[in-house]
């Protein structure tokens, strides 16, 4: 069984300058750390004598011309299913890196801009997979993943042997394991690789990518993943990527709610909230949410980088997985309750930062009572 996080052993000798090895750096002239286990991204091949590692494009070219274990040359064309707010940015970054991309989405209108930019439309998931060495999916819900992979004409029955299937949807770890098992039976490879970073990270190619599956498969497609993200980690075997994403969503629930509560408190006691946020963001309370999401809350900018309805889906998966192992998550459950109330009020298509609206209800009610 794959040892979690371990990607390779350092084997170079007499390293000169600073050469990155996973998350570790060896500087100057040193002997090889024989047997050292390296966590994070694998050692990137450098040109020579400790000079800069190969660029993403050069690593992609290496992958494009490599032979798979089955003797096929591939990885030139990427199939991509799902052209929503996340998929669009990811596809653009693949094309910027030089990959030809063929796309499929249930609603073609959401793919028209990508077609104009050079992506090739296909009329079905099966057609999208045809001729591709890698097929990436990022769709909405677990039932959508089920349909794309297991339904009539789905990827598991239509992808050619040796294809790598990468599901980047946030979905059930159990479903990820099932896809992996069925893929192996059909001569396919599968990774679960959910992402974090929202539409901004997707557009900028800075997503965190949490992968689960076989080490050899992960390393084979790493140059593809690197076009879409920066913090790319093999978390363990099949399903480990989804479990890590659940941990991310659990942590996120408390952080978003705490930012809302800090803003609500600051308003109630008469602080200049912008000044307050600038102060506390520089201290121990600082976080990505504090820096990036809080300003949007203050501007009442609720455009979705991540839909409330999709976050509810994620939190329900996390709750189910926690129940399976006998773990109670009271903070997650309370935040889930707030978001479900918003969804029932028709606000599910807003971004998760709209949670601040729940904390403004008392203020609105107080203002109305004064008017009356």
Is residue 275 within 8 Å of 294, Cβ to Cβ?
A: no
The angle, 0 to 180 degrees and rounded to 10, between the axes of the packed helices 330-344 and 308-324 is: 150
Per annotation, catalytic residue among 245, 309, 313, 357: 245
Give the count of alpha carbons within 13 A of 141, CB side only.
8
245 is catalytic: yes
Q: Which residues are catalytic?
A: 245
């Amino acid at each position: 069984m794959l040892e979690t996080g371990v990607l390779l052993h350092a084997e170079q000798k007499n390293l000169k300058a600073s050469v990155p090895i996973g998350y570790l750096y060896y500087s100057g002239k040193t002997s090889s750390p024989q047997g050292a286990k390296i966590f994070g991204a694998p050692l990137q091949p450098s040109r020579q004598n400790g000079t800069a590692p190969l660029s993403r494009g050069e690593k992609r070219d290496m992958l494009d011309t490599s032979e798979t274990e089955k003797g096929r040359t591939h990885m030139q064309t990427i199939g991509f299913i799902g052209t929503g707010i996340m998929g669009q940015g990811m596809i653009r970054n693949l094309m910027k890196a030089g990959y030809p991309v063929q796309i499929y989405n249930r609603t073609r209108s959401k793919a028209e801009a990508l077609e104009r930019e050079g992506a090739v439309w296909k009329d079905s998931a099966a057609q999208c997979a045809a001729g591709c060495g890698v097929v990436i999916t990022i769709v909405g819900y677990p039932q959508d993943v089920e349909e794309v992979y297991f339904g009539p004409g789905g990827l598991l029955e239509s992808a050619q042997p040796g294809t790598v299937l990468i599901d980047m949807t946030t979905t059930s770890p159990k479903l990820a394991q099932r896809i992996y098992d069925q893929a192996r039976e059909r001569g396919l490879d599968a990774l679960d690789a959910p992402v974090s970073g929202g539409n901004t990270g997707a557009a900028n190619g800075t997503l965190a990518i949490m992968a689960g599956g076989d080490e050899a498969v992960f390393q084979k497609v790493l140059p593809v993943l690197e076009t879409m993200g920066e913090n790319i980690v093999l978390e363990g075997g099949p399903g480990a990527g989804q479990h890590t994403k659940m941990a991310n969503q659990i942590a996120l629930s408390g952080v978003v709610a705490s930012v809302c509560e800090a803003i609500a408190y600051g308003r109630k006691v008469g602080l200049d909230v912008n000044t307050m946020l600038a102060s506390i963001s520089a201290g121990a309370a600082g976080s990505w949410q504090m820096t990036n999401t809080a300003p949007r809350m203050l501007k009442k900018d609720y455009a979705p980088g991540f839909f409330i309805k999709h976050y509810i889906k994620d939190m329900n998966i996390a709750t189910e997985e926690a129940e399976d192992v006998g773990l109670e998550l009271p903070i997650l459950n309370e935040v889930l309750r707030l978001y479900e109330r918003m969804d029932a009020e028709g606000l599910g298509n807003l971004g998760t930062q709209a949670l601040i609206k729940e904390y403004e209800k008392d203020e609105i009610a107080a203002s109305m009572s004064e008017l009356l």
